[in-house]
A and B are shown apart, each in its own frame.
Chain A
Amino acid sequence: MSIKNSFLSLFKYTRERYTRQAPIAILVLFLILFPLIVYGNKYRIGVMTNVGINAIIVIGLNLLMGYAGQVSLGHAGFFGIGAYCSGLLTVNLGMSPWVSTILAIIFTAIIAYIIGVPALKLKGHYLAMATLGFGEVVFVVLSKMDWLTGDTSGLLGIPPFSIGSLEFNSNFAMGQYAFVWIVVLAILILSINITRSRVGRAFRAIHGSEVAASAMGVDIAKYKVQVFVLSAIYAAIAGSLYAHFHGFVGYPTFHLGTSITLVTMVVIGGSGNIWGAILGAILLTWLPEWLIVVKKYDIVVYGMLLMLVMIFMPDGIVGRLSALISRIRFRASSEEKS
């Protein structure tokens, strides 16, 4: 009997692998239809491109916060390091954007490792404070970069990505849109794979109980640093895309407010669920566009919405939805039995 049950659940586990592809298919379909829905409106396609850039960071932040339970209020810092690094290497040294992106990723990863090893020994609010401090340091450094950028407001004239003569500059909205979402999908699939593995379980085990995880053989320090560096790499990728898409980076983009917005995207979408990152990025990137109708009261409405979601859906929107779905499934299966 027990052997039969083990096989049944083995079967269930492998079947799950295929059901996880359904949401990806839905997302791809939506992304193909979106330009048609907005009648090719360049501005709206541009907003959706920004959604993609945000989604890349938020996926990483969700792995860090939602899965491994480590808070970061400094991810705008990694976003900024990636963007400035990529920008400076192309503008000042004339590198190809492809090469500068790779170097920006490596550089950001090294910084994240150096920061992460000591900072991740801290827990909860202390870690939040440490990462917040890091973000502020990066912000101050970036704001004093005029000796390198030649301009007090930021760095201008960053070249776009190009394949042959095809340039992904800001006039080519559809190209940027396709480019960023292909990157998002790749990162999404790799991240989902990580969450459904020994490593992903280790992340969540650290969140669930550090002592138990440690006693069961999970090297807590190692996995915390791994997920921190991984999330910084994602932020650096987003930073490079941002720099080469816009052709300009300004330091105010990488202020504390951005870090907080990113964390909010994780929480609203649903922390502990990768899909929450996508939904959170879509909602909170579009929200300011929709709130234009309430003019200067937008920040009030924004805050109210956050409070309402937190009160009624503490697990975020995707968390709430998946709880509903599993409840319906459970009811259906118990009805089947009776």
Chain B
Amino acid sequence: MADPILEVQNLRKEFGGLVAVNDVSFQVEVGQIRAIIGPNGAGKTTLYNLISRLYTPTAGKIVYKQKRIDRLPPHRMARLGISRTFQNLQIMNNMTVLENVMIGYHCKQKHGILSSAFRIRSFKSEEKKAVQIAMEKLSFVGLESKADRFASDLSFGEERMLEFARALASNPQLLMLDEPASGLNTREMERIAELIYKIREQGVTVMLIEHDMELVMNISDIVTVLNYGQKIAEGTPREVQNNKDVITAYLGEESGN
């Protein structure tokens, strides 16, 4: 078996007295679609924020491709190949759709303030390449016709697609999606599932936080279940569905038991 792309060891995050993530460990293999599920407040998004380094763990290790990343600054993640989307959309409304996606390509570009100010030749060709990549990603999610519109003009579903395209523009090896289907209609949801499959075909490992069980059970290889910050189960969708602890966490304890 190949080395895992991501390994989380005894990861812990406390906010004051609250333990949001409690000694969670798991491994994600290359090319997997890994779902992270759990009731509200289970610590799923906190886990994401730890891995993408927006939060610093209280204890534990995060190892990405044999390299510890739990003390690196957040902006280094994109260049390493970790990209993500946000549950509560983080679209730059002051920019066009195309420019939003180009931000995803930021980490692949090199030119700084001086070469930009004087528009040296290599700057121009790098910019052209950035536009080209961004357009490719936009047509991948079906937003190419809106490239020049302001992001604030998009519908909710389109904004989800835009975040998707932006996350892909950095050419990630590990893509972390945070509730990509929430608030979408059935047709849009099917499209998201289709896109996730396509991305996996390109060799990208996908992590997925999702509340829609049908989507999770259909597309994931392995499901990790969190409850109150702890990992309570892990396995194939079928195994997890029949796990007693998982059923209890979702439906509550049966009275009299």
Residues of chain A having any CB pair with chain B under 8 Å: 2, 5-6, 9-10, 12-14, 190-191, 193-194, 197-202, 204-205, 207-209, 211-220, 226, 230, 272
Residues of A within 8 A of B119 (CB): 193
Residues of B within 8 A of A190 (CB): 117-118
Q: Contact partner of A9 among B54, B140, B144, CB < 8 A?
A: B144
Known: A201-B99, A216-B166, A217-B78. A211 touches B86 (CB 8 A): yes
Residues of chain B having any CB pair with chain A under 8 Å: 52, 54, 73-79, 83-84, 86, 90-95, 98-99, 102-104, 106-107, 109, 111-113, 116-119, 123, 126-128, 130-132, 135-136, 139-140, 144-145, 147-148, 166-167, 170
Residues of A within 8 A of B52 (CB): 215
Residues of B within 8 A of A2 (CB): 136, 139-140, 144
Q: Would B131 and A5 count as touching, CB distance under 8 A? A: no
Q: Would B144 and A220 count as touching, CB distance under 8 A? A: no
Q: Would A198 and B116 count as touching, CB distance under 8 A? A: yes
Q: Would A198 and B127 count as touching, CB distance under 8 A? A: yes
Q: Would B170 and A194 count as touching, CB distance under 8 A? A: no
| The 4 nearest A-B residue pairs measured at CB | A208-B92, A217-B107, A217-B78, A197-B116
Residues of B within 8 A of A215 (CB): 52, 54, 74, 77-78, 83-84, 86, 90
Known: A202-B106, A220-B75. A212 touches B127 (CB 8 A): no
Q: Would B145 and A212 count as touching, CB distance under 8 A? A: no
Residues of A within 8 A of B54 (CB): 211, 214-215
Q: Would B116 and A194 count as touching, CB distance under 8 A? A: yes
Chain B residue nearest to A202 (CB atoms) is: B106
Residues of B within 8 A of A219 (CB): 73, 75
Residues of A within 8 A of B90 (CB): 209, 211-212, 215
Q: Would A5 and B94 count as touching, CB distance under 8 A? A: no
Residues of B within 8 A of A9 (CB): 98, 131, 135, 144, 147-148
Residues of B within 8 A of A211 (CB): 54, 86, 90
Q: Contact partner of B139 among A6, A201, A209, A218, CB < 8 A?
A: A6
Chain A residue nearest to B140 (CB atoms) is: A2
A201 CB, min distance to chain B CBs, angstroms: 6
Chain B residue nearest to A226 (CB atoms) is: B113
Q: Would A204 and B92 count as touching, CB distance under 8 A? A: yes
Residues of B within 8 A of A6 (CB): 132, 135-136, 139, 144
15 extra A-B contacts, CB within 8 A, seeds A201-B102, A212-B90: A5-B145, A6-B135, A10-B135, A13-B128, A190-B117, A198-B127, A201-B103, A208-B91, A209-B91, A212-B92, A215-B78, A215-B83, A217-B77, A218-B106, A220-B75
Q: Would A201 and B95 count as touching, CB distance under 8 A? A: yes
Q: Would A193 and B117 count as touching, CB distance under 8 A? A: yes
Chain B residue nearest to A13 (CB atoms) is: B131
Known: A216-B78, A217-B75. A198 touches B148 (CB 8 A): no
Q: Would B92 and A209 count as touching, CB distance under 8 A? A: yes
Residues of A within 8 A of B109 (CB): 198
Residues of B within 8 A of A209 (CB): 90-92
